[in-house]
Amino acid sequence: MSVVKFNVLTVPEGSGHTLEERFAKRAGLVEGQPGFEEFQLLRPVEGTDKYLVYTRWRSQEDFENWLNSQEFRKGHAQAAADADRAGHGHGHGHGHGQGGPAATGSELWGFEVVQRVSAPGE
Ligand code: HEM
């Protein structure tokens, strides 16, 4: 049974563009992982101001293997460096431009896929 994992990102007002640029330059390693099925970056429009990183995996085990992989680490190297800088009080500005964290918080939501329907050809 497939599983869906959302990484729920808190993004300060005005920093959405920076976050989206970061994802535009993402490592692109996740799509090569065993059991990877789908990724979407979702921009909030109504009901929430959180960005959602949607991922779907063949199994919980495949997701965990990716979390523990070099590819996950490489895909988050820049995010990790930013978090570290912010944690040590050397972050400058408010997440605009190149430096500084684009997201100030994150939360993991996990689901099992009970039903899934796609339009023909989707
Ligand atoms: C510790 C909290 C996390 C933060 C703050 C975070 C933030 C980010 C950021 C800013 C990027 C863009 C690349 C970069 O700038 O480094 C990224 C990439 C990505 N994140 Fe996260 N992330 C976190 C954990 C997770 C988790 C748990 C998932 C699983 C749902 C996830 C899924 C992804 C995916 C699929 C990519 C693209 C990687 C690739 O292309 O290989 N992230 N993340």
Q: Is the CB of 52 under 6 A from ligand 1?
A: no
pLDDT tens string 19-51:
999 999 999 999 999 999 999 999 999 999 999
How many A from CA of 120 to the centre of ligand 1?
30
How many A from CA of 122 to the centre of ligand 1?
25
In a domain, 82, yes or no: yes
The mean pLDDT of the chain is 90
In a domain, 71, yes or no: yes
Residue located nearest, by CA, to atom 9 of ligand 1: 79
Number of domain units in the chain: 1
Beta bridge partner(s), residue 91: none
Q: Is the CB of 54 under 6 A from ligand 1?
A: no
Domain span at residue 40?
Answer: 1-8+31-49+60-86
The pair of structure tokens assigned to 59 is: 């199994």
In a domain, 18, yes or no: no
In a domain, 41, yes or no: yes
